[in-house]
Amino acid sequence: MRVYFLKRFGEDVFQRKTKRIIIVCLLVLLIFVSFYSFKSVHYAERLLPKTKVNNINVGGLTVDQANKKINAELTEAPVTIRLDNKLWKKIKRSDLGWQEDYLNTLMSIKQQQTPFAWGISSILGNQHKLTSRYDQSSVNQLVESLGMEILQKNVTRTPTTNATIEWGKEDFVIVPEKQGDTIDVVAVQKALIQNLENGKSLVNAEDYYAQPILTKDDKNLKDLKSKMNQLAKLNISYEINGKKVSIPKEELRSWLTTNENAEILLNQENVIAFVTKLNAEYNTKENPTPFNSTRRGEVSVPVGIYSWSIDIPAEAAALSEQILKGKNFSRTPIVESEVPNVQTSIGKTYVEVDLQNQYMWYYKDGQLQFETDIVSGKPSTPTPPGVNYVTSKSTDQVLRGLNEDGSKYASPVRYWMPIDKTGVGIHDSDWQYAYGGDLWLYRGSHGCINTPPTKMDKLYPILEVGTPVLVF
């Protein structure tokens, strides 16, 4: 009986506790529902919690209250610009034509919300952005004016410099970038516009220092340095007037430079200056041609019609292009001349007329093909020295001109090869009984190179038009 009583008593106690717990839970639920319903009613006339418009918290406010707050914080509150740790500019949005009434926008936000969702909103929040409504021309004018003022201030500031490549003691090295205190105009202008739109009030111009585009750690810059060092060590020469003219290494490296796109360039002023100097020293329109003669050794042959000068712009461009390929090379310059296919050196195929020895040779590819005594022009009508060439060939011609006394002469020749523009040429002369020696002093020609007829029979067929003729 006692056991039954105890068991029954325990069950009653448990039931009573369970009922109490249920009652408490129901009361809590009722209170929560009542509170939540109350808050829902509350938010029926207000914006949900954590509702932000352009980062301005208007949660829990009525539309009118929210409108006033946004107007105060967005429209009326100035945007300030600080420079050098002090206030520099203060700009009111209202001065730029920004709207002062946001009621329609706020009403639309409120109509889209569900009051019962205030709990979720309290956790997640709601973000809204006002459409920018301002006078675009006023903003543009402000931004432009601000940019001009910053540029003026930058004049007295230390500019930011990019990392560069310069010649060191033995090779090209990277000079690190330097951070200056000039202001990035575009960055400040963008920051101002953003602050005008999103309600932020401060633009610190010193947060927008101009940054270097290239730094010492830039891979492209390092590759560029390596390439420049490679180019600076190139062996480059010219074959000109029979000489080898090398470009000094110190000259070459002075041409190398880079641009903002990290590309290797050649300083064209320096290149042109070098080519100009090369032309001044070696062109044959103004300078005599050094020549290693058969009997007299090194001689200097005056300017004739077989002459050239360097096409300076074309050669400078071609030289630059070839250097940038990064390989050793030797070249002949691009030249200007009235002579077809003119060469910058006489080469190994030429006619040599030695007036002092009264002798003529013809070499082809360095091999002697022909030689003979000659009779050149007499002292009163001397054969003009110069570097000329065979301009044409013809047979059975009559050479005409004036004698010293003014009378006319007509000399039939079988072979005729003019070599300049004055009427001087190489031809047979059956009126001469001998050749060489001092005959030119008293039996000399009117300037032409008189050649034995039997010798001309051999020379004429083998001597080609265009062959250089050096007379000295």
CATH number at residue 258: 3.10.20.800
In degrees rounded to 5, what are phi and psi of residue 380?
A: -80, -25
Assess whether 381 and 320 both reside in one domain: no
Element containing residue 412 per DSSP (H, E): strand 408-418
Assess whether 311 and 370 both reside in one domain: no
What's the confidence (pLDDT) of residue 142?
84
Q: Does residue 67 lie within any of the structural domains?
A: no
pLDDT(443) > 90:
yes
- Kindly indicate the confidence band of residue 96, based on its pLDDT and cuts at 50, 70 and 90: confident
| Residue where a domain terminates, one of 304, 336, 368 | 336
pLDDT(298) > 90:
yes
Assess whether 332 and 249 both reside in one domain: yes
Q: Is 165 helix (H, G, I), strand (E, B) or coil?
A: strand
Q: Does residue 95 lie within any of the structural domains?
A: no
Instruction: Note the pLDDT tens digit of each residue in 380-438.
Output: 999 999 999 999 999 999 999 888 888 889 999 999 999 999 999 999 999 999 999 99
Q: Does residue 359 lie within any of the structural domains?
A: yes
| 461: amino acid identity, one letter | P
Is the pLDDT higher at 125 or at 166?
166
Q: Does residue 28 lie within any of the structural domains?
A: yes
CATH number at residue 377: 2.40.440.10
Q: Is 445 exposed, middle or buried (0-12, 13-18, 19+ CB in 10 A)?
A: buried
Assess whether 291 and 399 both reside in one domain: no
Assess whether 327 and 390 both reside in one domain: no
Assess whether 306 and 391 both reside in one domain: no
Q: Does residue 342 lie within any of the structural domains?
A: no
Assess whether 359 and 453 both reside in one domain: yes
Lowest mean pLDDT among 163-177, 341-355, 446-460: 163-177
Assess whether 363 and 254 both reside in one domain: no
Long-range contacts, stretch 413-418, CB < 8 angstroms, 24+ apart: 414/453, 414/456, 415/456, 415/457, 415/459, 415/460, 417/390, 417/392, 417/393, 417/460, 417/463, 418/390, 418/391, 418/392
Q: Does residue 179 lie within any of the structural domains?
A: no
Is the pLDDT higher at 218 or at 426?
426
Assess whether 261 and 313 both reside in one domain: yes
DSSP-derived secondary structure letter, 346:
-
Lowest mean pLDDT among 12-16, 211-215, 231-235: 12-16
The b-or-e profile of 242-253 (16+ CB within 10 A means b, else e) is eeeeebeeeebb
| Domain span including residue 12 | 1-35
Residue for token digits 């030249």? 335
Q: Does residue 386 lie within any of the structural domains?
A: yes
Instruction: Name the percent of the chain lying above pLDDT 70.
Output: 90
Assess whether 281 and 313 both reside in one domain: yes
Q: How many domains does the chain have?
A: 3
E strand segments, 14-134: 51-53, 56-57, 78-83, 86-92, 126-128
Measured over all CA atoms, what is the biggest interatomic distance in the chain, rounded to whole angstroms? 179
Assess whether 331 and 378 both reside in one domain: no
Q: Does residue 205 lie within any of the structural domains?
A: no
Lowest mean pLDDT among 27-41, 242-256, 446-460: 27-41
Lowest mean pLDDT among 54-68, 88-102, 312-326, 449-463: 88-102
Contact between residue 375 and residue 446 where contact means Cβ atoms under 8 Å apart: no
Quote the CA–CA distance of 228 and 222 in Å, as a whole number. 10
Assess whether 301 and 384 both reside in one domain: no
